[in-house]
Amino acid sequence: MLFKLSILYYLVEIKLTKWLYVHNIGFRRNWIIKKLIQHCSTSLFYKDFAQKKNDFTTFPIINKAIFMANFDAINAVNIKLEDALTVAIESEENRDFSPTIKGITVGLSSGTSGNRGVFLASEKERAYWVALVLDRVLGFPLKRRRIAFFLRANSNLYDSVKSKLLAFHFFDLLHSIDAHIERLNTLQPDILVAQPSMLLELANAIAANKLDIKPTKVISVAEVLTPEDKTYLSNVFKQTIHQVYQCTEGFLASSCEHGTLHFNEDFLIIEKKYIDQEQSRFHPIITDLRRRSQPIIRYELNDIIQEKTSCLCGSKWLAIEAIEGRSDDILIFRNIENQEVKIFPDFFRRAIILADDTISDYALIQTEPTHLMLYIKSQHEESFQRACEAIQDLLKKSNIFEVEISQTNHNHTFKGQKLRRIKNDVRKTH
């Protein structure tokens, strides 16, 4: 009961903070920043910075590697990484998703082993998160709704959204698509939450008349949703596809009624580290004004964000044109003068889909500096050749020659793993 009251309290606070922020009333924000800095004196890692100045921009910019290496010193609840990992891994293996240490929820982010993130959330933070999900994603429930939720692993973070009005049904990504279809047909969810690769499979099943569901809201999570997939899904589900951009580091952005992702700038500070000359792409450096058990301050993500300058909804919150993938998905070549040339995944995506409109799925993996593997799914045999030519043309524009492209018959996505269509595998093999 107390937990549910906290959720209601935060829901009101979130709406108020949003209103103040939208109307440019800065005094409360400065007060919140000051509070966060004060709180940092309880974190060994940040103690010195917090005592020196009342300005968070003097704090060091960190990334996942630094964050994980200093896990014990950064968190303010005295939890050791070793203990957090033991609890989280054990619970995932037993598929029992209610791990806590000292009342703090421990969760694992997806990612290859060795690259996993661990998140901590106190009960207050969980209540705040639930309030945010209600405010930004699900809408406050006035009637009973069934939610089909596809996840790699459940978490008691999600269980906490459960109520009489919101019935969560967890779909394990490791189960077969046929089992999902059967369950969905019976469940008839009002809201469908899944990653694009799963939404695409479900859309295909709807198109093939195997699946008959009519959710009123479809929410894409966890993976990059490309514009062409978004259009296809909108057509099949007959509605705007909503997106949530969330990772271990927090609930970063959600889409407005026009389907555009906006950063949650009411409780996040986003600094932009531009990575191209045109200043249209950046890595976000995030500061979460709310996280306390595990402060997230000036944390640089390696996601590549393409900036959108305005949105029809009128919101001034930083809008996202596309999340292009991660910086380790940038393909790297040598040009004719032996200089290194980096090409963003989005350029390959465009080249491939524009090469032939019968291409329904694709993947491009760089295995060597001069070798690419290309997967093309299409009704026409010549699609592969057309895509190859488009890629070679793109490379030639940057004076890159002699790159070999070979065909592969599978798209390298394994069950339970994130779909990454453009991928750089060179560093892993060398």
Contact (CB, 8 A) for 250 and 224: no
Nearer to Zn ion, 154 or 254 (CB): 254
CB atoms under 10 Å from CB of 106, counted, come to 22
Query: Judged by CB, which is closer to Zn ion: 109, or 315?
Result: 315
Report the run of H or E that residue 60 belongs to, with start and end: none
Give the start-end residues of each E strand in 178-249: 191-194, 217-220, 241-247
Q: Which two tokens stand for residue 405?
A: 């492209």
**For Zn ion, the closer CB: 256 or 323:** 256
Per-residue binding letters, 159-198, with Zn ion (x by CB under 5 A): ----------------------------------------
Q: Which is nearer to Zn ion, 199 or 311 (CB)?
A: 311
- State the DSSP string of 214-234: --SEEEE-SS---HHHHHHHH
Of 61 and 312, nearer to Zn ion (C-beta) is 312
DSSP-assigned beta bridge partners for residue 273: 283
Contact criterion met (CB below 8 Å) for 187 and 214: no
Nearer residue to Zn ion within complex by CB, 166 or 311: 311
Contact (CB, 8 A) for 206 and 215: no
Greatest Cα pair distance, the chain, in angstroms, is 68
Give the count of beta carbons closer than 10 Å to the beta carbon of residue 156. Answer: 18
Please state the closest distance from residue 253 (CB atom) to Zn ion, in A.
Answer: 11
Tell me how far, at minimum, the Cβ of 141 lies from Zn ion, in Å. Answer: 23
The CB-of-242 to Zn ion minimum distance in angstroms stands at 12
Q: How far is the CB of 257 from Zn ion (least distance, A)?
A: 7
DSSP state for residue 399 in the 8-state scheme: T
The residue (of 145 and 242) whose beta carbon lies closer to Zn ion is: 242
Q: How many CB atoms lie within 10 A of CB 58?
A: 12
Task: Please list every residue from 353 through 372 that binds Zn ion, using CB under 5 A.
Answer: none
Which is nearer to Zn ion, 78 or 310 (by Cβ)? 310
Identify residues 243-302 at the interface with Zn ion (CB under 5 A). Answer: 256, 258, 260
Instruction: Pick the closer one to Zn ion by CB: 259 or 345.
Output: 259
Nearest to 206 by CA among 228, 227, 230, 177: 177
**Which among 2-10, 306-314, 366-374, 384-392 is the span making contact with Zn ion, rule CB under 5 A?**
306-314
Task: Tell me which stretch binds Zn ion (CB under 5 A): 48-56, 237-245, 296-304, 305-313.
Answer: 305-313
Q: How many residues bind Zn ion (CB under 5 A)?
A: 6
218 counts as binding Zn ion under rule CB under 5 A:
no
Contact 10, 131 (CB under 8 A): yes
* Residue 313 makes contact with Zn ion by CB under 5 A: yes
* C-alpha pair distances (Å), 287 with each of 33, 295, 299: 10, 8, 7
Residue span binding Zn ion (CB under 5 A) among the ranges 198-206, 314-322, 338-346, 379-387: 314-322
Supply the minimum distance, in Å, between the C-beta of residue 247 and Zn ion: 21
Question: Interacting stretch for Zn ion, rule CB under 5 A, among 30-38, 119-127, 310-318, 400-408?
Answer: 310-318
Q: How far is the CB of 313 from Zn ion (least distance, A)?
A: 3
**Residue 201 burial (10 A CB sphere; 0-12, 13-18, 19+):** middle
Q: Among 405, 343, 337, 410, which residue's Cα sits nearest to residue 370?
A: 405
Shortest Cβ 317–Zn ion spacing (Å): 8
Nearest to 254 by CA among 203, 345, 323: 323
**Judged by CB, which is closer to Zn ion: 302, or 315?**
315
The answer to whether 22 contacts Zn ion (rule: CB under 5 A) is: no
- Strands 217-220 and 166-172, by their bridges, are unpaired
Of positions 14, 311, 353, 426, contacts Zn ion by CB under 5 A: 311
Q: Write out the two tokens for 302.
A: 């390696």
Least separation in angstroms between residue 320's CB and Zn ion is: 10
Binding footprint of Zn ion on the chain (CB under 5 A): 256, 258, 260, 311, 313, 315
